[in-house]
Every structure is written in structure tokens, then in C-alpha cells.
């Protein structure tokens, strides 16, 4: 079962809200724009990362902050 967390307005459990979708679509995955509800930072993330994405400012994020 696959449930996509890619609606605009969706907020994942780390407080990252989907605010839009980029027109550019990568070969692998669509790219969405997220906003951190904690610090207000806006950044892009692959669709497959949206559900578990944390704020790039989070020391535990464990991934590069930006993909562009």
C-alpha cells in the first residue's frame, strides 16, 4: 500500500509542510517545496522524502540540506 504525502498543506510528523510542487520533475521523483513550521525555512525535497523529511537546520537530519 502506498499513500502519497504530497498534497499541498500536508504536514509531516517533523513539522514540515508541503507548500508547492516544482515544475521540474527529476527522472527519479517529483520535487516539492517544503516549509519548516518551526523556523519558516523553505526548501525543496524529493517526493519520496517528503514524509520523513526534517528541517535542514535539524542536526539529526542526516541528509544534505538542499538538492539544488
Shortest distance, CB of residue 60 to Zn ion, whole angstroms? 12
Q: Stretches 2-10, 27-35, 38-46, 60-68: which one binds Zn ion (CB under 5 A)?
A: 38-46
The grid coordinates listed for 26 are 527529476
Q: Is residue 38 at the binding interface for Zn ion, with CB under 5 A as the rule?
A: yes
Judge whether 45 and 53 are in contact, CB under 8 Å. yes
List the helix and strand counts (H, then E) for the chain: 1, 3
Applying CB under 5 A, among 36, 45, 50, 53 the residue interacting with Zn ion is: 36
Distance CA 9, CA 23 (A): 17
Binding stretches for Zn ion (CB under 5 A): 36, 38-39, 55, 57
Amino acid at each position: 500500500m502506498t499513500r502519497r504525502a504530497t498534497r499541498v498543506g500536508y504536514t509531516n510528523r517533523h513539522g514540515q509542510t508541503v507548500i508547492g510542487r516544482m515544475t521540474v520533475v527529476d527522472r527519479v521523483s517529483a520535487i516539492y517545496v517544503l516549509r519548516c513550521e518551526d523556523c519558516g525555512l523553505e526548501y525543496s525535497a524529493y517526493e519520496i522524502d517528503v514524509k520523513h523529511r526534517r528541517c535542514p537546520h535539524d542536526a539529526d537530519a542526516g541528509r544534505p540540506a538542499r538538492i539544488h
